[in-house]
Amino acid sequence: MSKILITGANGQLGKSIKKLEPDFPAHKFIYTDIQELDIVNKPDTEQFINFHKPDIIINCAAYNQVDKAEEESEIARKINVDAVSNLSSIAAKKNLAFIHVSTDYVFDGRSFLPYNENDKPNPLSSYAVSKFDGEKEALKYGKKSIVIRTSWLYSPYGHNFVKTIIKYGNERNSLNVVNDQVGTPTYAADLAHAILLITEKNDTLNKPQIFHFSNEGIASWYDFAIAIIKISETDCLVNPVGTSEYPLPAQRPYYSVLNKKKIKGFLNINIPHWLSSLEECINLIKHSDHEFK
Ligand SMILES: NC(=O)c1ccc[n+]([C@@H]2O[C@H](COP(=O)([O-])OP(=O)(O)OC[C@H]3O[C@@H](n4cnc5c(N)ncnc54)[C@H](OP(=O)(O)O)[C@@H]3O)[C@@H](O)[C@H]2O)c1
């Protein structure tokens, strides 16, 4: 049995891991968010880990407000860099596995081919720089450190693009969505499943490494929005617009498709196409008798 500490457990990924707990009966999970464990506070974090003695730490906590990070870079760095350093160094000291999640936004998007794990990052925004620096902290200390980069995460929980498009689609007659930024949507349940499969390989982890994980396929935000409107049977017109027509504080990569060959080989898995996972998520939202928070 492995004891797994989840930080940031009230977020999309944390809640998606919790939902999968019954499929991993050999694990005991400890779920924490900032109320129980503020990972920015190193002494508290170390004390918590000393007391609960996990075998594995999965860091689902993050500062994810891409545009706001342009003016709140210090706060973003505390959570995305300093706190990661705290967890990673404590995990290394105790020889625990440390699984940390990063983003496709570490790349500048000038490629025309899916990004491999060893392609050189060149983050374009304050958020992206904080996530890239966090990766370095995650990988710096221990042999059992893993960074998983993912992209365009959504789930029935919290705030995300899928829920925003459904909401605005119900309120408005038309929406403008950018069609010149291309990547891959990722259903947090699929990412959670891959991460939990990695935990089952705990005994074989012996070097710090990066994996890329998203759903299969490629889409622009416009393609993604069209699919959301169609699957959710929302009556709203989606207009394609260019990034220049929709200026935002943080620059985003134009192309951020991730190559998943490494993780598929490591876990011996097939990854669902983004459209089939999107359908699964929207059906869950539509046919559930409670509101997802
Ligand atoms: N969302 C995306 O589109 C996306 C894309 C690529 C990569 N990622 C990465 O994927 C991972 C999971 O993302 P997510 O969407 O599940 O994130 P999320 O929904 O924003 O959840 C993050 C959780 O961490 C908590 N948290 C913040 N500061 C904390 C602290 N000091 N101590 C403990 N917990 C703290 C947050 O609490 P509050 O809500 O109270 O702040 C929140 O519950 C992150 O590493 C993220 O960077 C996300």
Q: What is the pLDDT of residues 57-115, one digit of tens each?
A: 999 999 999 999 999 999 999 999 999 999 999 999 999 999 999 999 999 999 999 99
Q: Name the residue of 5, 7, 13, 164 whose CB sits within 8 Å of the most ligand 1 atoms, as the mutation to test its pocket.
A: 13
Give the chain's mean pLDDT. Answer: 96
Atom number, ligand 1, closest to the C-alpha of residue 14: 16
In a domain, 284, yes or no: no
Q: Give mean pLDDT, residues 201-214.
A: 93
Containing structural domain, residue 51: 2-158+184-217+255-272
Give the domain CATH number at 259. Answer: 3.40.50.720
Q: Single out the catalytic residue among 127, 157, 187, 255.
A: 127
Number of structural domains (the chain) is 1
Measured in Å, residue 248 CA sits from the centre of ligand 1 at 21
In a domain, 175, yes or no: no
Q: Whose CA is nearest to atom 21 of ligand 1?
A: 11
In a domain, 150, yes or no: yes
Q: Whose CA is nearest to atom 45 of ligand 1?
A: 101
Q: Whose CA is nearest to atom 19 of ligand 1?
A: 11
- How far apart, in whole angstroms, are the C-alpha atoms of residue 90 and residue 141? 9
| Any ligand 1 atom below 6 A from CB of 12 | yes
Measured in Å, residue 16 CA sits from the centre of ligand 1 at 12
pTM: 0.97
In a domain, 17, yes or no: yes
Model confidence pLDDT, tens digit, residues 6-22? 999 999 999 999 999 99
Q: Whose CA is nearest to atom 15 of ligand 1?
A: 12
